[in-house]
Structure 1
Amino acid sequence: MNVLNLLFIKDGLIYQIVKNKNVLEEKAYFVNEETPENFISHQLEEVLIKQRFDEISVISALNHFTLMPEGFSEHEAGFDLISFNAPVDKENEELMLSVNKKFKIQFYYTFPKDLYKKIKELAIPVHFNFSGEKFLNSINNKSNKEIHINLYHNQCEFFAIDNQKIILYNNLDINSEVDFLYFVMFTLSKIGFGINETSFYAYGETTENETFISELQKFVKNLKIVFDNLPNKNFILN
């Protein structure tokens, strides 16, 4: 079975072609000041016609989302709830839902409508999910207070968990060590997590962000690298 994995982040697209769990091809496209308009859309088109796929898995790490308790059913309010966190364009965004039964929460998130249509037009099985839900499924919560940080290219998502309860989730841009550390320390102070009593876990692009990791280690005692997205491995947490 040929599977296409697509990961959409704030400023890029990463894809993998996988056959029988073996990565055959992997590439990342990132937006910069010189890339043309609709660059990601064009690259997606090129990826989708590479070959015949049996299945597509799409993970969105775009930071248009909101977090609600499992069972919340007023789906028509999804756009309004997301708008408290980020600007919403109903005409050009598709409203999506991902449920995490492990922690009894659900994510409403939006996905660009033009990209959604390009993928769906292939008329093959497609599974959409939000990165926060996928990330949360990979977490093995052990101690009372934990911080879990998943690093991408110039971006991270962040869970604060206290005794099996989600205290906070956020998804933000990180362009400097100062921004990253300020975010972590400010969050800890707001939610009442002490540095010495909190266990930290890092996942994702930890090699690419090794400066961030080394700076964080100067302030926290308990930091463990759980998962590193090495080339030709599964860039999305299992």
Structure 2
Amino acid sequence: MNTPPTSRVVLRATGLHKRFGDHAVLTGTDLEVKHGEVIVILGSSGSGKTTLIRSLNFLEMPDSGHVEVCGISVECETSARGKLERCSRGQRRQMALIRRNTAMVFQSFNLFPHLTALENVMEGPLSVQRVARDEARRRALRLLDRVALGDRGDAYPRHLSGGQQQRVAIARSLAMEPKVVFFDEPTSALDPQMRDEVLQVMKELADAGMTMLVVTHEMRFARDMADRVLFMDSGRIIHDSPADQFFKDANNDLRTRRFLGKLAV
């Protein structure tokens, strides 16, 4: 079982809007996440799931809205071309602090191909946190052990399977000691065996109390590990409920029913 979430809110978003050209992707999204919660975000392609989590750590700049992570708060607006209009230098520093308190695991791994698995995990602490090399190495070795790759530290990404690369990517995200980890379809590029390897690591993180927001189509993970399931449609969260209640009530909404009908639930 997951470590029960606490009552402390670690992430809050209010009124997030984001457009790409004429297309509105987020249309006033609100979200609150407590420490230790595992949130699974579901929705059809184009519903805004990935844009939401990328906006929460400013990989995408929201057009408007408010984001707060671990008490670090940012509220600003951008121009139509995505350039900051009303963000002061102090707010930019706040964005950098939010990024340091969060981590993203991508669908496509995004490992540095010229670095070994160990070096990939060490890179963030060395270049961003300015951690001493010996400490960064100790941290990386411990995390590779944690994702069952302690014997592959000297391997380059091209010599690792997709599942192994994704586990290295998870270790790399944990090396920054984030308070919140975002997962963007982390298993969608993997075959079933590799997918199970990655899901097992994610389950262990959930059991350990990591705060996680997971964009996925893995219904088994949602059922077994999510504290809450969010369902997005047209840039808004239209359902937000405990996992067992979500699957019990899903048939009451046509959009949710159609979405789940396309998947093996």
Select the structure that is richer in helix.
Answer: 2
More RCO (CA 8 Å, sep 6+): 2
Select the structure that is richer in strand.
Answer: 1
